Amino acid sequence: MPSDPKRGRLPFEPRNNNKKKSEKTPAAKSPAIAKKKPKSTSRNSRQNSNLSAIPDEVSKRMGRRMAVFCGIPSALGMSSFFVFYWLRIKEVVDLPPYAAFAFSLGCLGLGVVGLSYGLFSTSWDEDRPGGIWGIAELKLNLGRTRDAWKASKEAKAD
């Protein structure tokens, strides 16, 4: 899905490095010229930061999804200590301590997985909110991430 050139790239989308590598330039005539560094203008740095920045609408959407998919299991994991303590004190159920530990650790681990799922299941396109569960967005965004990793490995190899 190519992005609109007017809007720029989607966040985390790999760059197309179709440009031919420039041939080696001849050595500078004087050492003073060779040591001189090119000035980076603030305009160029702003353009580069805008290309890699996540749009505000997308970041809010990511935050909401991460809060739901991470917050609910994490809250269950933390509150389970109190529930297991209450069950033990009131002698409702005699559970071993490792059961409380295993359940809370499982919920907190699910919260960590939910954090990643909330990030990758969000639509990274500003104009498209995406689905409720985000299955289609998850597949698309994991593909984009995999492509970006492959592109970075190829760039390091060159």
147 belongs to a structural domain:
yes
45 belongs to a structural domain:
no
pLDDT in tens, 5-16: 555 566 666 666
Site of tokens 């060159």: 158
Maximum alpha-carbon separation in the chain: 88
32 belongs to a structural domain:
no
123 belongs to a structural domain:
yes
Question: Is pLDDT at 101 greater than 60 in this prediction?
Answer: yes
* pTM: predicted TM-score of the whole model, two decimal places: 0.60
pLDDT in tens, 124-136: 888 888 888 999 9
Question: Is pLDDT at 79 greater than 80 in this prediction?
Answer: yes
8 belongs to a structural domain:
no
42 belongs to a structural domain:
no
Contacts (Cβ under 8 Å, ≥6 apart) of 65 = 118, 119, 121, 122, 134
80 belongs to a structural domain:
yes
Domains of the chain: total: 1
SS3 147: helix
114 belongs to a structural domain:
yes
24-49 per-residue burial string, b: 16 or more CB within 10 A, e: under 16: eeeeeeeeeeeeeeeeeeeeeeeeee
What are the start-end ranges of the E strands in the chain? none
Domain span including residue 144:
61-157
